[in-house]
A and B are shown apart, each in its own frame.
Chain A
Amino acid sequence: MLFKQWNDYSEPRHHIDAPLDNNEDLGSLQLEPLPDVELVGGLDISSYKKVILTTKVFRSLFPGNLAHASEVSKFRVSWKTKSSEHALYREDFQLREDSLRKSDAKVLEIPVLQINPETLVISVAEDFLHVPPIALNLLSKQIAQLFSTPLEILVLGASDRIEQVKTVSYPSDEAKNGLCVLVPPEFLTNFIASAMTQLILQKIPFRGYIAPSEGPSGYEKLSLDAMDTLIDQCWSELASGDRDTYFKECHRNWRLNGTAMGAQAGLYL
């Protein structure tokens, strides 16, 4: 038997796993408009001590908290997609009746939640198909600017380039709680990487945990081991009541949300 590569065209390695627009005007010398990012309603952060930056994949770590949290403010990201022509058809005649040219305005709202009187949570719903990376980069910039005053910043992120839960911190680099730090060639990307980059650029200290994951941005699956480690760390970070109750609730949420691998009767679905 002979194994042969049967797709002649292989995507070049420097191209990234993100959907690309069919841009016909590659030779354009015009600047591209940027998405707008604004903090709706303002926010006085002086009464808070801690902020947690995370993605929706980790929502199970806040059982009850996020549901009962109060929204103190929100970031609104708005951008326009390229205009596209939609043809309208009448079902009974199958004839083209009209064509509609529209430029879609998209809005993404990211709430700033208060889960207890001292703690804020910003959980971003990543969606690599519909949210352009520039929107998340600009959002990170705004977040970093908002939290430039002394505040404890904790990041919770995922990476498919690591095999166990790792810690990150800036500026000090001490391994804590028996967890290791990242070593080359491990790295992370997506919103959490963008947020960390902006915090580093503005010299704002932070620390956090990065969990191993599989799957595309926004739809990551985590292993049960990684989940248990995270629950352990977050229980001490959040100091949220009885340990056993917190464990059980997190596990239940995790199954409900389908973010754990093996949650669907042993099948990858």
Chain B
Amino acid sequence: MSTLLLPLVSTGNVPQLVTDLILHSLSSEFEFVRELDSQYLFPFTGPLDYVKGSQASLYETAEGKTLTTPLELFYSSALNLYVVQQRSPLLQNYENNFCKEALVPLIEELQIEQLIIFDATDDIEESVAVSRLNRTPYSLGICEISQIDDIAAEFEQKLQMKDVLPRPTNNTLFKFTETSFQSGISAEQFTYKLCYHLLQSSKFTSCLKGIRYFNTYVQEGDNSEDAAAACDQLPLFVEGFPKITQYHTPVSWEGVYGVRNAPSSFEEGLYI
């Protein structure tokens, strides 16, 4: 089953960090496919990332490539898994354009059967939060498109909104697992917009079978540990995804949280 992993730029950049971990820890399996159109993202260009001391390069097959762009596509034939790395945020107000003109055509072109949306949050809407004791910092929502028999009839129902103040939410599109910390999604979320445009697309039924929404609850700070922990969850819901025993972090992570060690002494009013 061909799968696409889509990390959203969100709290602590955890989905991006997870994508980095996947690509660089399994760099022998993944290859760079191509740059994707990024006109709806903030401009970004940077040098190629690599793991210190590692022979395997993610960009081995990309001859002449010297710079990375905001949106790139990678593929592992062994896992039949496409991974998108998004390196800069979406431009405000252009979420719908990005979904309709960039993501939906990509999903159709790659004949994706399973879409996994990776998100992170530090503030869950009260109207969709679950107040149960057994909840974990992870949320997994499953939307099986095959269960929608008559799209025209069920479309309205599946995307129906509960106009709960202050913000409209949707509790029917995704079926969340028992241990999830949320029971629905907000209509203001990017995920809702993407699902709307996907379900509206005329061709989606031919290939796409399901959408999984994986959300992780984090606080901003050094989120590298959160990323590793979230990455450990992937084999639970991505078919055939291996358990990564040793994580390799790329060189770009150095200095992101400061190049100096944490101060250990306090002298004359200064941390040294």
Contacts and interface: CB of A to CB of B under 8 A. Distances in A.
Contacts of A168: 45, 66-67
B46 A32 contact: no
A183 B47 contact: yes
Interface stretch (A65-73, A187-195, A222-230): A187-195
Interface in A165-189: 168-173, 181-189
A16 to B, nearest CB: 6
B44 interface: yes
B167 interface: yes
Interface string B47-63: 11110000000000001
A134 interface: yes
A197 B43 contact: yes
A228 B38 CA distance: 34
Interface residues of A, number: 52
Interface in A40-93: none
Interface string B65-99: 11101100000000000000000110111101100
B40 interface: yes
A153 interface: no
B11 A171 contact: no
A133 interface: yes
Interface string A222-248: 000000000000000000000000000
A27 B168 contact: yes
Interface stretch (B110-118, B173-181, B201-209, B249-257): B249-257
B64 A170 contact: yes
Interface residues on B, range: 35 or more
Interface stretch (A107-115, A135-143, A250-258, A259-267): A135-143
B218 to A, nearest CB: 11
A13 interface: yes
Interface in B166-200: 167-168, 186-188, 192-193, 196-197
Given A14-B13, A137-B39, A197-B43, A170 B67 contact: yes
Contacts of A187: 44-47
Given A29-B196, A201-B37, A186 B91 contact: no
Contacts, number: 141
A28 B193 CA distance: 8
A97 interface: no
Nearest to B63: A171
A210 to B, nearest CB: 9
A190 B269 contact: no
A20 B67 CA distance: 29
Contacts of A18: 42, 92
B158 interface: no
B100 A31 contact: yes
A26 interface: yes
Nearest to B197: A29
Contacts of B154: none
Given A184-B252, A187-B45, A32 B220 contact: no
A193 B255 CA distance: 21
A8 interface: no
A31 B96 contact: yes
B9 interface: yes
Contacts of A29: 96, 193, 196-197
Given A12-B11, A26-B188, A189-B42, A200 B69 contact: yes
Contacts of B255: 185
Nearest to A134: B91
Contact of A21 (B12, B92, B196, B251): B92
Given A14-B12, A23-B92, A29-B196, A200 B67 contact: yes
A189 B88 contact: yes
A51 B252 CA distance: 32
Nearest to A188: B45
19 contacts: A12-B220, A14-B12, A20-B92, A23-B93, A27-B187, A29-B96, A31-B97, A132-B91, A134-B91, A137-B40, A182-B46, A184-B47, A184-B48, A185-B253, A188-B45, A189-B45, A192-B45, A194-B43, A201-B69
Given A12-B220, A30-B96, A133-B43, 5 more contacts: A14-B11, A16-B42, A27-B192, A183-B47, A189-B45
